[in-house]
C-alpha cells in the first residue's frame, strides 16, 4: 500500500522538516499551507528534486469546508491518506491572561484546536477499517507549553495544546481497534520562525538557559520523533507522547 501523508502547516519550521523527512522515508507528501505559497512550493520542489512525490495545497484548517477540500484534493492527487501530522498552529503577541480578549481566544482555539479536530476527523473517515480503510497513524504536534502553562506569555496557546493532549488520548482509545494509532510530540524551545508571531523572534536564545541541555532544538529533531511515531517501529504505541524539549 502506498504511503500518503498530509502535513498541515508544512511550508516552514517543524512542518517543512517533517515533510522533507517523510518524503525521504517513502511517503507521498501533501504540504498544506495557509498563505505562503512560495515557501510551500519550495518544499515541494526540494522533495521532487530528491525523487519524491509532493503537492502543495492551500487550506485554512480552522475552516471546515477548506479542510474537507484539502483531503478531497489529496484523495484525487495522491490517493487515500495513510498518515496525518497535525502541525498547523498559530500564536499571538505575548501578554498576560487579563489582557486577552475573546477575539484572540477564538482565533487561537479555532486554528490550534478546532483545526486539529477537523483534520483528524477527515483522516479517521479515510483510515478506519470501520469505514473501509486500511488503518494509519496520526501525530499531533502539541507543545511543552501544555505542561508548563506559558505564564505571562501564552496561557491561551498552552491551553490549546493541553486540549490537543487530551484529544490525543481520547481519539487513540476510540480508534485503536480500527487500525489507527494516535500519538503526539511535545516540542520545547525550537528554532523556527513561529516565535516571530509572538513578537520575539529571538525567544529561544533568551530562554534556552532554562533547558537542562542548555540549547534550543532544531526542527529536524522534532521531525525524527514524528516520523518514528508514524512508522511501523511504533506499531504498539498509541495514546503516547514524546517530549522533544531538551529535558525541560
Sheet holding 180-187, edge to edge: 54-58, 28-33, 4-7, 83-86, 136-141, 180-187, 241-244
Q: Contact, 74 vs 58, CB < 8 A?
A: no
27, 33, 154, 157: the catalytic one is 157
Cα–Cα distances in angstroms (integers) from residue 28 to residues 31, 78, 92, 189, in the given order: 10, 7, 32, 29
Active-site residue, 157 included: yes
Query: In angstroms, rounded to a whole number, what is the distance separating the alpha carbons of residues 207 and 204?
Result: 5
Residues with a known catalytic role: 157
Amino acid at each position: 500500500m502506498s504511503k500518503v501523508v498530509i502535513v498541515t502547516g508544512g511550508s516552514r519550521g517543524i512542518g517543512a522538516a517533517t515533510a522533507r523527512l517523510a518524503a525521504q522515508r517513502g511517503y507521498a507528501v501533501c504540504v498544506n499551507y495557509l498563505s505562503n505559497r512560495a515557501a510551500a512550493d519550495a518544499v515541494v520542489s526540494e522533495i521532487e528534486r530528491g525523487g519524491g512525490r509532493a503537492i502543495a495545497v492551500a487550506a485554512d484548517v480552522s475552516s471546515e469546508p477548506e479542510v474537507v477540500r484539502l483531503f478531497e484534493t489529496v484523495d484525487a492527487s495522491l490517493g487515500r491518506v495513510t498518515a496525518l501530522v497535525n502541525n498547523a498552529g498559530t500564536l499571538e503577541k505575548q501578554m498576560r491572561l487579563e489582557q486577552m480578549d475573546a477575539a484572540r481566544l477564538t482565533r487561537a482555539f479555532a486554528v490550534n484546536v478546532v483545526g486539529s479536530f477537523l483534520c483528524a476527523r477527515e483522516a479517521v473517515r479515510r483510515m478506519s477499517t470501520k469505514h473501509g480503510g486500511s488503518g494509519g497513524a496520526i501525530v499531533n504536534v502539541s507543545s511543552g507549553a501544555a505542561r508548563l502553562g506559558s505564564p505571562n506569555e501564552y496561557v491561551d496557546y498552552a491551553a490549546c495544546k493541553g486540549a490537543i493532549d487530551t484529544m490525543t488520548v481520547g481519539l487513540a482509545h476510540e480508534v485503536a481497534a480500527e487500525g489507527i494509532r494516535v500519538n503526539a510530540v511535545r516540542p520545547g524551545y525550537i528554532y523556527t520562525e513561529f516565535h516571530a508571531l509572538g513578537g520575539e523572534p529571538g525567544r529561544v536564545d533568551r530562554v534556552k538557559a532554562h533547558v537542562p541541555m542548555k540549547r534550543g532544538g532544531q526542527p529536524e529533531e522534532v521531525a525524527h520523533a514524528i516520523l518514528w511515531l508514524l512508522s511501523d517501529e511504533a506499531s504498539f504505541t498509541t495514546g503516547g507522547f514524546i517530549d522533544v524539549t531538551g529535558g525541560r
